[in-house]
Amino acid sequence: MNKSKNDHLTDQQEGVDFARGPKSLIDRRTAATRAMLVTPDITRQPNRRTIEARKAEFEGLADAINLVLVQSIVVSVREIKPATFIGGGHVEAIAETVKEEKIKLLLLDCQLSPIQQRNLEKQTGAKVLDRTALILEIFGERAATREGVLQVELAHLTYQKGRLVRSWTHLERQRGGLGFVGGPGETQIESDRRQLQDRITLLSQRLDKVKKTRTEQRKARKVVPHPIISLVGYTNAGKSTLFNYLTGATAKEADMLFATLDTTVRRRVLPHKREVVFSDTVGFIADLPTDLVAAFRSTLEEVTDAHLVLHVRDISNPDHLAQAQDVEDVLKDLGVTPEEVPFIEVWNKIDQADEALLEQARAQHRSDVPVVEVSAVTGQNIDELISLIEDILAKSSRLQRVILPHEAAGKAHWLFENGEVTNQFSSEDELSIVYEVRIPKNKMSGFLEEFGPFILMH
């Protein structure tokens, strides 16, 4: 593989392989890595999740990259220690376990500073990674498309940039200055940080190009008169399984966190002959690293073009309420709310759900968003979901007839971009074009303002 000028770095240097993306944080080239998981329970910090749910989710993250999980514990943290995050007694006990069980990797379900990470490694004798690093590792394995790979590498390098002091062993060396400049020259860490920044800049430029292509694709989809239905939900809620059932597609599905990362789009003709586009997005998770949220924002923004949002929830998970809130928080940041776009809550995995848990969920549900209880595996109630999708799409848009004289024909692009043009034909005198178009409720005010004099039928 040829290396570009911006990609060059000598093979002897450690840390990041600039030519092929970030070096894996976990070395699994030989035997599977023996790992220990630590879930800090910060007693003075409110959390919408139970500690049991947080521990189970963290174990799921570790399982997503096939580590050998030797032990998983919860440690109580009354006050976060600046040096090690958790208390000294816990660190000593963990160090003993690491030695006895020959553990190579220690994972903490929190965000560690570079100093805390380095101190824990020194005191325990194991490699230490925090929640952010573990999620980055998973995303690094799952990314398949060009955009996904670029997004993950950008987030990965940004994360490593702040940790050069900790993770690279050759940084104490100092390079000599250029012969005619004099002075001590730049230290190795300054050189590496500069080259990291060069790589980050290069990736950002490449991502901008990909984002422009994605924007053009979205514009093209707007011209095609098909409503877009986006599936969103917490990771492992069963979105991809439901997407496959609804569209007959073969998107990867697995009972693990972040089985799929890349947005998949498929068309389908509904029973009443209306053609729609289904869009399956990346799964959400609590405390998603900031760098990854920024990197994947363009992917998530696919949801902003949706005419209907299916919020898929794993109703068999005792923590489903907290998971739903995490999803809603991210969507709200994107400006996607039930007030702006129609929502359907799809309570998935009812074939696995406890009846008492279901009854509790029904009692707590907000009445303004319709619910369908389904099983994407067995197909239970999927017909009911499709019927509700058709009803909402019909109610959320009104059929209008607009007549545009040839001198006003330039206005027609608004109809294609903001509505669903179902028919167009010449008027009897052939001096105008008549458009039959469905206008979503959230576009109606703009439609009336733009086409008031040209509307034939309300």
The binding site consists of 233-240, 258-262, 280-283, 348-351
Structure tokens at 268: 């389908």
Query: Which strand ranges, in their side-by-side order, compose the sheet holding 127-130?
Result: 68-77, 34-42, 105-108, 127-130
Q: 98 by DSSP, 3-state: which?
A: helix
Specify binding-site residues for Mg(2+): 240, 260
Alpha helices in 224-346 (DSSP H): 239-247, 290-295, 297-300, 320-333
- Burial, 358: exposed, middle or buried (Cβ in 10 Å; 0-12, 13-18, 19+)? middle
CB contact set of 367 (below 8 Å; sequence gap of 6+): none
Q: Are 402 and 454 in contact (CB under 8 A)?
A: yes
- How far the first Cα of the chain sits from its last, in Å, is 62
- Burial, 389: exposed, middle or buried (Cβ in 10 Å; 0-12, 13-18, 19+)? buried
- Output the CA torsion sign for 233, 236, 237, 242: positive
Q: Measured at the alpha carbon of residue 104, what is the angle toward residues 99 and 108, in degrees to the nearest 5?
A: 100
Distances (CA, A) of 130 to 76, 103, 104, 232: 17, 16, 14, 26
In the numeric block, the tokens 């709310």 are attached to: 337
Q: Are 299 and 147 in contact (CB under 8 A)?
A: yes
Rg, C-alpha atoms of the chain: 27
Query: What is the DSSP annotation of 340-353?
Result: TS-EEEEEE-TTT-
Q: Cα(331)–Cα(300) distance, rounded to whole angstroms?
A: 9
Q: 37 by DSSP, 3-state: which?
A: strand
Q: Cα(436)–Cα(454) distance, rounded to whole angstroms?
A: 12
Specify binding-site residues for GTP: 233-240, 258-262, 280-283, 348-351
The conformational region for residue 372 under phi > 0 = left, psi -120 to 50 = alpha, else beta, is beta
CB-based burial, 281-300: b 16+ in 10 Å, e otherwise: bbbbbbebbebbeebbebbb
